[in-house]
Structure 1
Amino acid sequence: MSEVTETLVRDYKITRRSANLDINWASAQIVKNLEKHEKRDLLAWLLTQSERVYQRAFQANQFSAAQGALKLIYDMTIKEPEKKKDSRWHGNYKH
């Protein structure tokens, strides 16, 4: 992010704040435009890469890295997602 910010400031002569706002807008647009099948493709790619990390770490006797890769695979596939809290209530409000 900082390299992109520096490039925008240097090449387009805009302020750092404006560059950061533009970067945040672009990131939000990318996330908003992900379709369901693209998310599945991305998940499959992440799982494949995590499995490779696990296998290589296990072969190199880097067991903590292998365990981290397995936890990531578990979090992406089996673990139930946390339920979102009702955003209307916040702070110390008692339900």
Structure 2
Amino acid sequence: MAIRLSPCDLMEKLVSFPTVSRDSNLPLVDRVEGYQNSHGVTAHRHYDESLQKAAPFAHVGPGRPRCGSVGSYRCGASRWSAPASDPFTVVERDG
């Protein structure tokens, strides 16, 4: 049985992956594909030349596959300046 996440829960899960630009994004792509597949969505990926990063594709209904992209952060200690927050944790401020 597929687990349905609320939009907020899904966002929190996706943001929690450490998608630092110098590292692989494959754990995140694995999670996205697994979630899609559990809901009957055909998913696959397109790798970059390093084979350490990929863009997810999904087939929903008739027509051509749609491409997604996975963002990455440049959040090394010298770049991340948000006060007392983790770049991989969703924090709501001021509504």
For the criterion TM > 0.5, the same-fold answer is no
More helix by percentage: 1
In the superposition, the TM-score normalised over structure 1's length comes to 0.25
Task: Identify which of structures 1 and 2 has the higher relative contact order when contacts are C-alpha pairs closer than 8 Å and 6+ apart.
Answer: 2
More strand by percentage: 2
Report which of the two structures shows the higher radius of gyration computed on alpha carbons.
Answer: 1
